[in-house]
Chain A
Amino acid sequence: MARMRVRLTFPPERIQEPVIYHLVKDFDIVTNIRRADVKADHGWVVLELEGKEDNLHRGIAWLKEKGVKVDPIGRDVIVP
């Protein structure tokens, strides 16, 4: 099992969708939310993901396809 701590930032059009539910159900990922701020027009969630490495990578690729930004918790690691 692999673990990943990430910050998800949702675009306004995805706020009302059960994105994390699908992450659990479709990719067999255990989610553990630590902090979040979700309002009508924006949202972010800081959470830990646990699952098979392949599932985590597929889940993250799916999130990105949905327009959800996936960053390490420290956010931009590469700096100029």
Chain B
Amino acid sequence: MEKLKGLKCRECGRRYPSSPAHICEFCFGPLEVDYNYDALKGVITRASIAAGPPSIWRYKDLLPIEGDVAVGHHVGFTPLIRSQNLAEELGVRELWIKNDSVCHPTWSFKDRVVSVAVTKAKEFGFDTVACASTGNLANSVAAHAAEARLRSYIFIPADLERGKIVGTLVYHPTLVAVQGTYDEVNRLCSEVSDKYRWAFVNINIRPFYSEGSKTYGYEILEQLGWRAPGHIVVPCAGGSLITKIWKAIREFSMLGLVERPATKMHAAQATGCGPIVTMIKKDTDVLAPERPNTIAKSLAIGNPADGYYAYRSVKESGGYGEHVTDEEIVQGMLLLARTEGIFTETAGGVTVAVTKKLIETGVIPRDESVVICITGIGLKTPDVLQERLETHVTIRPSLSAFDRALAELKSQAGQ
């Protein structure tokens, strides 16, 4: 029996064959990959997964790939770190950090979704992949297209700072800078994807692309020793990651790979762009679009496509959500770096700061297990911290100068 049934509309349930499509022709609802779980039961076991490669592809049976893996053989299986220092600082008994800031090859969880999308694009016979992105997604699409020897087109707003482009241009894509507002770039890309036969990873390949996020959840459960934690705190942008981690937990439970999971999913967003958390707090399934105004650029999606599904995942699991200010985000980044030696991007600062808030307010009890999702590296966007960090000591190159400076530092620190 085939593992893939095809695609299915998340709204009206209509079924479609597996194809590069993302919208239901009937109700214009989003399409999702539909698996034949009966065929997978008993076939996927803890042992069969553990025998797989140390990458996302150990879960290939639960991914929408039918042929061979084309790219990203080393993506995923990032460290799940048992935190001592941050746990002490936050006053919680069992804290884990799922660290995708070291995801190969472009240091963010986007490598998971893109390696699935590009492999699927090859399977469908595309020779060109594309995306519209200002950061991590652009890096990852350009890198994986290079590995796959596919042409790539990356659309960006023309006013994007040069510094942000280098990490994409280096992989030799065609970069298209569009002179227009954010909304106009959105609409143009949608029209381009209708007209050209390209694999637009977050448009016509989106149902397949987004499935890659499940691997983040599978890894958490497997690395915890085939058990689901009490709480997972997830940064939310488009809302897909939290939805897919929740799906991963339900799938592992359905397949008997973990026992009775009781994980609460918590959404983390910035105050300057937090429409999903606002839904959760107001307890409404209606999303009010926002105009982003936050330093957490990698979460700045004002009208998230999966906002409703993210809200539903949180509600189903019994979780909650919190907003944090730009200052709290910076403090979260610094706290993670100071306690665990991990330099994350602003999104990670959001997650840490939100976790702190959820613990302080009692939403996350101090004696329950918590996993925080660190989804990207801080080295790509160090500018947010530039003015907040300073050199402690500047001296002449002599030992006596150093001795004096050290004595002064110690006296300042009261040692």
B349 close to chain A: CB less than 8 A = no
Instruction: Enumerate chain A residues within 8 angstroms of B286, measured Cβ to Cβ.
Output: 37, 39, 42
A73 close to chain B: CB less than 8 A = yes
- CB of A80 within 8 A of CB of B135, answer yes
Instruction: Enumerate chain B residues within 8 angstroms of A80, measured Cβ to Cβ.
Output: 133-137, 237, 297-301
Count of B interface residues, CB-CB < 8 Å: 42
- Listed stretches B68-76, B165-173, B302-310, B351-359; interface member: B302-310
- Listed stretches A13-21, A22-30, A64-72; interface member: A64-72
Assuming the contacts A37-B286, A76-B301, A79-B202, asked whether A46 and B136 have C-beta atoms less than 8 A apart, the reply is no
How many angstroms between the C-alpha atoms of A34 and B305 in the bound complex?
17
Residue among A35, A47, A60 with max Cβ neighbours from chain B (10 Å):
A35
Instruction: Enumerate chain A residues within 8 angstroms of B299, measured Cβ to Cβ.
Output: 80
Q: Is the interface of A mostly helix, strand, loop or mixed?
A: strand
- CB of A77 within 8 A of CB of B28, answer no
- CB of A78 within 8 A of CB of B132, answer yes
Instruction: Enumerate chain B residues within 8 angstroms of A76, measured Cβ to Cβ.
Output: 186, 238, 301-305
- Chain A contact-residue range equals 20 to 34
Residue among B131, B155, B303 with max Cβ neighbours from chain A (10 Å):
B303
- Listed stretches B19-27, B88-96, B328-336; interface member: B19-27
Assuming the contacts A78-B189, A79-B137, A80-B136, asked whether A69 and B303 have C-beta atoms less than 8 A apart, the reply is yes
A52 close to chain B: CB less than 8 A = no
B122 close to chain A: CB less than 8 A = no
Which residue in A34, A35, A42, A78 is a CB contact (below 8 Å) of B155? A78
Which residue in B30, B137, B182 is a CB contact (below 8 Å) of A74? B30
B185 close to chain A: CB less than 8 A = yes
- CB of B288 within 8 A of CB of A42, answer yes
Which residue in B136, B157, B206 is a CB contact (below 8 Å) of A78? B157
Nearest neighbor of B297 in chain A, beta-carbon distance: A80
Min Cβ gap B165→A in Å is 14
Min Cβ gap A47→B in Å is 8
- CB of A75 within 8 A of CB of B189, answer no
Nearest neighbor of A70 in chain B, beta-carbon distance: B183
- CB of B304 within 8 A of CB of A5, answer no
Nearest neighbor of A5 in chain B, beta-carbon distance: B28
- CB of B26 within 8 A of CB of A34, answer yes
Min Cβ gap B344→A in Å is 14
Min Cβ gap A60→B in Å is 8
How many angstroms between the C-alpha atoms of A60 and B183 in the bound complex?
11
How many angstroms between the C-alpha atoms of A76 and B185 in the bound complex?
10
Which residue in B28, B29, B30, B238 is a CB contact (below 8 Å) of A79? B238
How many angstroms between the C-alpha atoms of A54 and B375 in the bound complex?
42
How many angstroms between the C-alpha atoms of A71 and B238 in the bound complex?
14
Q: Return the CB mask of B129-163 against A: 1 if under 8 Å, else 0.
A: 00111111100000000000000000101000000
Which residues 281-325 of B sit at the A interface, judged by CB distance below 8 A? Answer: 286, 288-289, 297-305
- CB of A35 within 8 A of CB of B11, answer yes
How many angstroms between the C-alpha atoms of A39 and B298 in the bound complex?
32
Which residue in B133, B190, B301 is a CB contact (below 8 Å) of A72? B190
- CB of B206 within 8 A of CB of A74, answer yes
- CB of B301 within 8 A of CB of A74, answer no
B46 close to chain A: CB less than 8 A = no
B63 close to chain A: CB less than 8 A = no
- CB of B301 within 8 A of CB of A77, answer no
Residue among B28, B202, B203, B289 with max Cβ neighbours from chain A (10 Å):
B28
Instruction: Enumerate chain B residues within 8 angstroms of A46, measured Cβ to Cβ.
Output: 27-28
B187 close to chain A: CB less than 8 A = yes
Instruction: Enumerate chain A residues within 8 angstroms of B22, measured Cβ to Cβ.
Output: 74
Nearest neighbor of B346 in chain A, beta-carbon distance: A80
Min Cβ gap A63→B in Å is 11
- CB of B289 within 8 A of CB of A73, answer no
Instruction: Enumerate chain A residues within 8 angstroms of B136, measured Cβ to Cβ.
Output: 80
How many angstroms between the C-alpha atoms of A26 and B29 in the bound complex?
28
Min Cβ gap B413→A in Å is 39
How many angstroms between the C-alpha atoms of A69 and B302 in the bound complex?
11
Interface of A toward B, CB cutoff 8 Å: 4-5, 9, 34-35, 37, 39, 42, 46-48, 60, 64, 69-80
A-B contact pairs, 6 of them (CB 8 A): A39-B286, A70-B187, A74-B190, A76-B305, A78-B134, A80-B137
Instruction: List the 7 shortest-distance A-B pairs measured between CB atoms, nearest first.
Output: A72-B190, A80-B298, A75-B305, A78-B132, A80-B135, A34-B28, A77-B189
Interface of B toward A, CB cutoff 8 Å: 11, 22-23, 26-30, 131-137, 155, 157, 182-183, 185-187, 189-191, 202-203, 206, 237-238, 286, 288-289, 297-305
